[in-house]
Structure 1
Amino acid sequence: MDGTVLDTEKMYHEIIKQLCEKFRKKYSQGLQIKLYGLTDREICQTVVKELKLPISVDEFEMQMTDLAQKLLPGAPLQKGAERLLTHLHDYKIPMALATNSTDQAVRLHATARPKLFGLFHHKVSITDPEVTRGKPKPDIYLVAAARFPRKPNPKECLVFEDSAVGVTAGIHAGMQVVMIPDPRLDREQTRQATIVVRSLMDFKPELFGLPPFDDTPPRKDRIET
């Protein structure tokens, strides 16, 4: 969801930056990179520990959640996300949302964009009762695959990810992974992915046996008079 369907990563970083500045702490780019793909809880634990903030992890998480609820519903879509989701839905390719975010965060975005989030057959979050471990463990993807009506083999599933921990989760689940990395990520963190694209606009479904995009402009009727 975050960083793949929605361009929320920058917003999350701005929220964390604001909280850190309250304590006159610098939220560095190096620390930002460490947080890619982590759960909200892990983000809070890492920031509080790394910056030695005079605040508990619980309090930091509460403040971060409050700011997120105000700002995140306005997050823009990632380039090509709506095009891809609509295309796969039109061809009846079943899709699930699998995210390290909480169910509360998923509901927040689904309320803001009901039509788009309604394209998913189901949604699996880090707070799902069947998910005991978040990414980079494969649990979220295995639970998501098991909830499709046909219960596909993992090798029949294709994952879209923006973070190294997400890619690791997909690979360990036995699935193929398309990675759309943040440009600031070190290239070494993209090597596990099956394929790396700059944006979802560059993804070619036919490479994975899916129907290709029909980007042919509509032909104008040529009527001779």
Structure 2
Amino acid sequence: MALLTPTESSNTRTFSDFNGGLANLLIPVTHVIFDLDGTLIDTESCYKDAANAVTMRLMNKEFTWKNKSDLMKTNLRKNSALIVEKFGLPLSPQKFYNEVMSEFAKLIKNVPFMPGAEKIVKYFHRQRIPLALCTASANESFQVKISHFGDFFSPGKYFDVIVIAGNNSEIKRNKPAPDPYLFTMSKFANPPLKSENVLVFEDSVDGVNSAIAAGAQCVMVPDTRVDNENATSKATLVLKSLEQFDPKLFSLPSFSLGVNKSANIITVLLSMFISIALFKV
């Protein structure tokens, strides 16, 4: 699918691609899945600042956004050994990971939602669109991240499904493999008719690759502080912020309209068609 990016004029923001008519390219959405880090909450700056606190204390070396992009990427635990090696740190990868997470726990208490995150989650919930959260984090890290957001991330509050892929024994491969998103799709009470009817919101290279490999459509909101250029060509739509998202592009009601009473009915009917088709086979 062609890369679709927002373009801005002096008065309006429009969407276009070289085929013209963006709405004709995008497939109607019945289910939505959100990534967590960098998509709904601004944890990426916390990871960078936490690592910087450790490298400055030990070696008086700054941990930059380029280091975050090139070395840490989206998985601190997995890439701790690489960071220790590149910075010549006098401690083991596990010790480095523990110290960074200790600093992270202090910083996360003040982490904000990403711009537009609360509004868009509540919009999908109000429209009765089945909603899921799929994070590559491990459970311990996930609990730390959501601890000061009250019940926003409590199961059933807004999200019908919450998948914590980092230490889920049923998920063999984490992002960028498709496994986390395929697993999440299967956990909906009424699974999507096709994976392309699922809309994923992501911010990272690994996340976009995972969603696209799972067959979903993917809206990417890249962090401008991190080099994500290699992933934008695979995303269905690229936005500067969740605040730019226009539901009508995916055949969804606008933000200003009321509850989409047909959403649940459509989802149930699609699931019934799947069951009938499988039965006939």
- Could you tell me the TM-score, scaled by structure 1's length? 0.88
Cα separation, partners in 2 of 1:211 and 1:35, compared to 1, 3 Å:
farther
Q: After TM superposition, give the deviation of residue 27 of structure 1 in Å.
A: 1.8
CA contact (8 A) 1:36 1:164 kept: no
- Which stretches in structure 2 are left out of the alignment for 5+ residues? 1-35, 259-281
| 1:133-212 equivalence runs, <5 A | 133-152=173-192, 153-184=194-225, 185-212=227-254
Aligned partners of 1:42 and 1:173: how far apart in 2? 22
Alignment match, 2:38: 3
- Which stretches in structure 1 are left out of the alignment for 5+ residues? 217-225
Q: Which has the higher contact order (CA 8 A, sep 6+)?
A: 2
The one-letter amino acid of 1:134's match is: N
Aligned partners of 2:148 and 2:65: how far apart in 1? 30
CA contact (8 A) 1:36 1:163 kept: no
Q: After TM superposition, give the deviation of residue 187 of structure 1 in Å.
A: 3.2
CA contact (8 A) 1:19 1:64 kept: yes
Q: After TM superposition, give the deviation of residue 131 of structure 1 in Å.
A: 1.7
Alignment match, 2:6: none
Aligned partners of 2:96 and 2:120: how far apart in 1? 36
**130, 136, 157: which one pairs with 2:170?**
130
Would you identify which runs of 4 or more consecutive aligned residues in structure 1 move more than 4 Å?
none
The one-letter amino acid of 1:205's match is: P
The one-letter amino acid of 1:181's match is: P
Count of matched residue positions in the alignment of Structure 1 and Structure 2: 216
Percent sequence identity over aligned pairs: 33
The SS at the match of 2:94 is: helix
* Deviates further, 91-100 or 123-132: 123-132
Structure (1 or 2) with the greater strand fraction? 2
Q: After TM superposition, give the deviation of residue 39 of structure 1 in Å.
A: 2.1
Q: After TM superposition, give the deviation of residue 186 of structure 1 in Å.
A: 5.0
Deviations 1:39-93 (A, max 9, x none): 2312423311322322111111111222222221321000000000000001111
Cα separation, partners in 2 of 1:86 and 1:35, compared to 1, 3 Å:
farther
Cα separation, partners in 2 of 1:36 and 1:203, compared to 1, 3 Å:
farther
Q: After TM superposition, give the deviation of residue 116 of structure 1 in Å.
A: 1.9
